[in-house]
Amino acid sequence: MSNLIKIKLPDSSIKEAPSGSTLYDITGLIGKGLQKAALAAELDGVLTDLATTVTKDSDLSIITFDSEKGRDIFWHSASHLMAQAVKRLYPDAKFAIGPSIESGFYYDIDMKKTLTPEDLEAIEAEMAKIVEEKLDVKREEMPKADAIKYFSSINETYKIELLSDLPDGNVSLYRQGEFADLCRGPHVRNTEQLKSFKLLSIAGAYWRGDEKNRMLQRIYGVAFPDQKDLKKHLDFIEEVKKRDHRKIGRDLDLFSTHEDVGAGLIYWHPKGARLRNTLEEWWKKEHFKNGYEILYSPHIGRSTLWETSGHLGFYKDNMYSPMEIDGNDYIIKPMNCPFHIKIYQTSLHSYRDLPLRWAELGTVYRYEKSGVLHGLLRVRGFTQDDAHIFCTPEQIEDEIKEVLRFSLWMWKTLGFTDIKAYLATKPEKSVGEPERWITAQESLRKAIESADLKVELDEGGGAFYGPKIDLKVRDAIGREWQMTTIQFDFNLPERFDMYYIGEDGQKHRPFMVHRALLGSIERFVGILIEHYSGKFPAWLSPVQVILINVSEEQAGVVNEMKNTMIDRGLRPQVDLRNESMGYKIREAVSQRAPYVCVIGKNEAENGTVSVRKRGEKDSITMAINDFYKMLEEEIAEKR
């Protein structure tokens, strides 16, 4: 009887290996390069360490850093490496959780010393020593009671609390040298694999995210198998910092926040308001052109409305406390949809009236914990570019295709061309008739096909009240942002008993579709600032031209140009200060306006202007009217 086992690889090829071989050894049989890159494996669909032995015929897939699972394993292993280094340097440190995150890892630590950026260098140096020690990373399993006893002996109180939440039975620990941590795994085989890393920052974090609990110190870091990849990532982080919408917002005087008045609330300054107004006016114009009507709804509603909609049942934690008016409880709105439904119910609708496409730039308020607030990207008060479509079953397929077409056109006009769709389908628990789910999902699928979009299926990932499409866009530096949502809702029409009169004279339930195109104006403007690095195209730029005089004699011509441009619907800014030309031009360039125009003696006499386009060193001289026409053409073409 042969002691060889058959290993089936993802490409359906078969490798033979001695029974009892470790996955690391089997990976070597496949290829030495793969063995070096391997971090873990999926054995018969189960994620496991490379130290695992195989004694039967199995399906095998090797996990490397190139995959999402691989990065998760690598970064989680790096968090253990960092924790071991911290423990060596600060023996009193107690560890909470240290997960991998989207772009690296962190560990929450309770310790006496308040860490500084300089301390991170010492921790990195200790991490490098541990890498050089080439410590094997070993999995240990033990009964939960024994694990509690072990962590009690080393005073790891947070691990004991985590263990208390786990069911009885065996738990796993991962040990490297003298350090052991409670962990599900898998992890890398040896610390020598974690050569390239960088600790990035320190922040505060409440234990379990609860403000009533102790504040811990959170160290963020990132790691890569290769130093070149680490440098590339660090360069990317620097580019992200340069594009930070909060910094650019200050530099261009677009918006501010004021903690003393209320966190997560945005104050739009004149230039920011110009940008927002330009965006919203264009949004309204295009919605009217595409068959939408614009609604306005109140900011508050009686609590009975939110009881009917169900928000008080499943969304209460994100809603603000009621205020009493005339003996009734009123709540500031977190959503626009119930108000749109109430407008629908003011009339009796026939199938001939449908579809109805109703849109609103409605300001809503939702509670967010202070720790997650982030400039324009995460706020407590925001304006949602909301729309609701009410239609018949016969109309739904065409409506979804049209709303997706419209959304994609808007995104491409705004300068985002790398767009991917995510289709989320029916979950296990849902409301609504099965045939409605089938019709809805089929309409979403066909719309994606007709748009020829890249798509990723999220099977069972839909909301309980309907399937949806999410559109994610990539910005100028490759980051993906979730933006447009096209969401069916089988819940609210039932709760509000919505209906229309069909061709048969009977009541029928309309299809209801939520559609947020930009998501929220605040968040979108934050993304827009970072996408363009504040260098907005002329049609969006809050200041399109900065006009500069050489001397006092040209002030009248400059003001005349300014007034003419305003009359033509353009957005100029003048700089008549008694400063040097070099200084004024540098200041103008720093404001990132599309054009800087200089008017000196010759220009004033000849009816010309010296024009410098953003990003170009040289200026050209042209007739003033020719400049107006050039700028107007650029704006009209949305370039």
Per-residue pLDDT of 475-507, as tens digits, reads 999 999 999 999 999 999 999 999 999 999 999
Whose CA is closest to 6, among 44, 39, 52? Answer: 44
pLDDT digits 0-9 by tens, 583-595: 999 999 999 999 9
User: For the chain, which residues make up each domain, given as ranges?
Assistant: 4-63, 68-237, 278-297+336-527, 545-636
Please tell me which residue in 386, 470, 489, 575 is annotated as part of the active site.
386
Q: d(Cα 469, Cα 451) in Å, to the nearest integer?
A: 13
What pLDDT is stored for residue 240 in this prediction? Answer: 95
Give the mean pLDDT of 149-174.
95
The answer to whether the 278-297+336-527 and 545-636 domains have the same CATH topology is no
Catalytic residue among 384, 395, 441, 487: 384
- Asked if 251 and 245 touch (Cβ cutoff 8 Å), the reply is no
Helix (H) or strand (E) holding 179: strand 179-182
Output the six-digit token pair for 366.
């939702």
Q: Which of 71, 189, 468, 592 is catalytic?
A: 468
pTM assigned to the model: 0.88
Split at pLDDT 50, 70, 90, the class of 2 is: low
Q: Residue 599 has which token pair?
A: 């008017």
Task: Give the C-alpha separation, 9 to 11, whole Å.
Answer: 5
Q: Is the pLDDT of residue 302 over 60?
A: yes
Q: Which of 366, 436, 515, 523 is catalytic?
A: 366
Cβ pair 536, 275 in contact under 8 A: yes
CATH class of 278-297+336-527: alpha beta
388 is an active site residue = yes
Active site (annotated) includes residue 245 = no
The CATH-assigned architecture of domain 545-636 is 3-Layer(aba) Sandwich (3.40)
Task: Name the catalytic one among 243, 287, 514, 531.
Answer: 514
What pLDDT is stored for residue 371 in this prediction? 79
Instruction: Confirm whether 506 is a catalytic residue.
Output: no
H helices present in 173-324, as ranges: 227-242, 245-251, 270-289, 303-309, 311-314
Residue ranges in 205-267 assigned as alpha helix (H): 227-242, 245-251
Confidence of residue 23 (pLDDT cuts 50, 70, 90): very high
Catalytic option among 388, 523, 571, 584: 388
Pairing of strands 262-268, 255-258: antiparallel
pLDDT in tens, 188-245: 999 999 999 999 999 999 998 888 899 999 999 999 999 999 999 999 999 999 999 9
340 noted as active-site residue: no
pLDDT of residue 222: 97
- Mean pLDDT value across the chain: 95
**Cα dihedral 117, 118, 119, 120 sign:** positive
CATH number, domain 68-237? 3.30.980.10
Give residue 369's pLDDT: 86
Q: How far apart, in whole angstroms, are the C-alpha atoms of residue 354 and residue 367?
A: 35
Q: Is the pLDDT of residue 100 over 80?
A: yes
Q: Is 195 left (phi over 0), alpha (psi -120 to 50) or beta?
A: alpha
User: Percent of the chain, pLDDT > 70?
Assistant: 100
**CATH number of this structure's domain 4-63:** 3.10.20.30
- Euclidean distance between CA atoms 138 and 128, whole angstroms: 19
Q: Render 118-151 in DSSP notation, one character per residue.
A: HHHHHHHHHHHHHHHHT-B-EEEEEEHHHHHHHH
Average pLDDT value for residue range 286-297 = 97
326: confidence class by pLDDT, cuts 50, 70, 90: very high
Q: How many C-beta atoms lie closer than 10 Å to residue 205's C-beta?
A: 18
Q: How far apart are CA 575 and CA 156, in angstroms?
A: 63
Write the DSSP symbol of residue 374.
B
What confidence tens digit (pLDDT) does each residue in 361-386 have?
A: 999 999 998 878 999 999 999 999 99
Determine if the peptide bond prior to 186 is cis (ω within 30°).
Answer: yes
Residue range 618-623: average pLDDT?
A: 95
Is 514 in the active site? yes
Whether residue 1 has pLDDT greater than 50: no
Which residue is catalytic, options 183, 337, 391, 597?
Answer: 337
All residues at 6 or more sequence positions from 301 whose CB lies less than 8 Å from its CB, including other chains:
330, 331, 333, 338, 339
pLDDT, tens digit, for every residue of 442-471?
999 999 999 999 999 989 999 999 999 999
442, amino acid identity: E
Interhelix angle for 117-133 vs 68-89, to 10°? 110
